[in-house]
């Protein structure tokens, strides 16, 4: 495989293997994307990425990470996303959106305003989780979802997928990583339930499977559905791990998931993560090999050659560029030049090539 070789995903054709990872901008008002999101996402489509995935977009107001998160829980938000998706597609990229619910990590301050929960009475809201366990000391104790609450979450994901389609998105990524609600159900460290949604692997993964099924009911068969997971909690013992991740990947493949975006961590504070370039790539490689599903590699991948090697070695099918994409919106174009690969250039820019 080659980094600039197209990749078929159902009825779509990715023009290369570089994907802009969903990255929160904490810049929305009432869940509405605005000019910032238009320029941020649009410039990365101009930059040559195959897929541009909009940030973690909440399926309900309660599911926002921060008060400034984008959403897809109402018509106004759907309408605001339309010109953004349209521009991304006009520049030859696939417009994607990550649908998310933050669970017990909701109602938090955006990074440049502090850390931890929004102070009481300053725009905070009730958080929910599989069990009434706070993320960390000083965090809000979440409300444990009952059966009706779980069904409401599933319905919210389903409705948000319908709105994503109406807004013009062609790819959905479901967020089941980084300690947010779906991940909270997966991990026995945050899920202490004793009903059909807790205990065994089958029960803890039930909500993820039911959300996937609900989204696939309304998401066209010709459009891809991706799933982001944390391959491990990086816990000393008892957490979600790579073995369970492989098992989950094999199951969701049968439910209509086309690619596993493999990240890690986020469920627990104060864990030690062995950070180094490509530290999560072995997880993507193992899931690809053992579950027989396409994977995406992400995490401290900052050079063209590293990205090319990951794809060439069969460790992942796509490489998701996150912070390096913030530093350089034109990373794919620079990578193509460095690797002597051909890449389509907008007609407005061709005199520079």
Q: Which residues pair with 57 in a beta bridge?
A: 99
Residues 19-40 have a mean pLDDT of 98
pLDDT score for 353: 79
Strand pairing category for 12-14 and 7-9: antiparallel
Q: Distance between the two ends of the chain, CA-based, in angstroms?
A: 26
Q: According to the 3-state scheme, what is the secondary structure of 99-117?
A: EECCHHHCCECCHHHCCCE
Identify the sign of the CA torsion 3, 20, 177, 148: negative
Q: What tokens were used for 329?
A: 């919106």
Which pLDDT value is given to residue 344? 87
Per-residue pLDDT of 90-112, as tens digits, reads: 999 999 999 999 999 999 999 99
Give the list of residues 6+ apart from residue 243 with CB closer than 8 angstroms, or none.
Answer: none
Name which of 98, 153, 107, 157 is nearest 134 in CA terms: 107
What number does CATH give the domain 7-352? 3.20.20.70
Mean pLDDT to the nearest integer, 217-231 = 98
The structure's pTM equals 0.97
Closest CA to 314 of 287, 333, 341, 339: 287
- Told to judge if 180 belongs to the known catalytic residues of this protein, a careful annotator would answer yes
pLDDT over threshold 90, residue 84: yes
Task: Tell me if 6 sits within 8 A of 51, measured CB to CB.
Answer: no
pLDDT at 329: 96
pLDDT at 28 over 90: yes
169-213 per-position pLDDT tens digit:
999 999 999 999 999 999 999 999 999 999 999 999 999 999 999
Residue 14 scores a pLDDT above 90: yes
Please give the backbone phi and psi of residue 108, each rounded to the nearest 5 degrees, phi first: -115, 160
Output the DSSP codes for 251-283.
Answer: HHHHTT--EEEEE---SSSS------TTTTHHH
Residues 252-284: tens digit of each pLDDT: 999 999 999 999 999 999 999 999 999 999 999
Residue 9's pLDDT band (boundaries 50, 70, 90)?
Answer: very high
The whole-angstrom separation of Cα 57 and Cα 23 is 10
Residue 55 and residue 71: Cα distance in Å, rounded?
Answer: 10
What's the confidence (pLDDT) of residue 202?
98
pLDDT at 141: 97
- The SS3 assignment for 20 reads strand
Catalytic residue, candidates 26, 180, 279, 330: 180
Q: Is the pLDDT of residue 249 over 90?
A: yes
With a pLDDT cut of 90, the percent of the chain lying above it is: 97
Please compute the mean of the pLDDT values over residues 289-301 and round it to a whole number.
Answer: 98
């Amino acid at each position: 495989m080659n980094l600039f070789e197209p990749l078929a995903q159902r009825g779509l054709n990715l023009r290369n293997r570089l994907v802009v990872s969903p990255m929160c901008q904490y810049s929305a008002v009432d869940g509405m994307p605005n000019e910032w999101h238009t320029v941020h996402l649009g410039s990365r489509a101009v930059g040559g990425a195959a897929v541009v995935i909009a940030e973690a977009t909440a399926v309900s107001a309660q599911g926002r990470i921060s008060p400034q998160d984008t959403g897809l829980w109402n018509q106004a938000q759907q309408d605001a996303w339309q010109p953004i998706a349209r521009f991304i597609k006009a520049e030859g990229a696939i417009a994607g959106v990550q649908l998310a619910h933050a669970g017990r990590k909701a109602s938090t301050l955006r990074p440049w305003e502090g850390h931890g929960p929004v102070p009481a009475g300053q725009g905070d809201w009730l958080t929910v989780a599989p069990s009434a366990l706070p993320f960390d000391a000083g965090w809000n104790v979440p409300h444990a979802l009952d059966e009706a609450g779980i069904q409401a979450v599933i319905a919210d994901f389903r409705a948000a997928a319908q709105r994503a389609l109406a807004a013009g998105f062609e790819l959905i990524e479901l967020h089941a990583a980084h300690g947010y609600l779906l991940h909270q159900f997966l991990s026995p460290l945050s899920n202490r339930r004793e009903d059909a949604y807790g205990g065994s692997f089958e029960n803890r993964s039930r909500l993820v499977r039911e959300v996937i099924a609900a989204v696939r009911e309304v998401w066209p068969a010709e459009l891809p559905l991706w799933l982001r997971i944390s391959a491990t909690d990086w816990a000393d013992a008892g957490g979600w791990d790579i073995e369970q991740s492989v098992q989950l990947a094999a199951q969701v493949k049968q439910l209509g998931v086309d690619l596993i975006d493999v990240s890690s961590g986020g469920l627990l504070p104060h864990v030690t993560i062995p950070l180094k370039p490509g530290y999560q790539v072995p997880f993507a490689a193992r899931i690809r090999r053992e579950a027989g599903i396409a994977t995406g590699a992400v995490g401290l991948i900052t050079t063209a050659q590293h990205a090319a090697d990951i794809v060439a070695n069969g460790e992942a099918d796509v490489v998701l560029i996150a912070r390096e994409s913030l530093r350089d919106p034109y990373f794919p174009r620079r990578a193509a030049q460095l690797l002597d690969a051909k890449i389509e250039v907008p007609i407005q820019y061709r005199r520079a090539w």
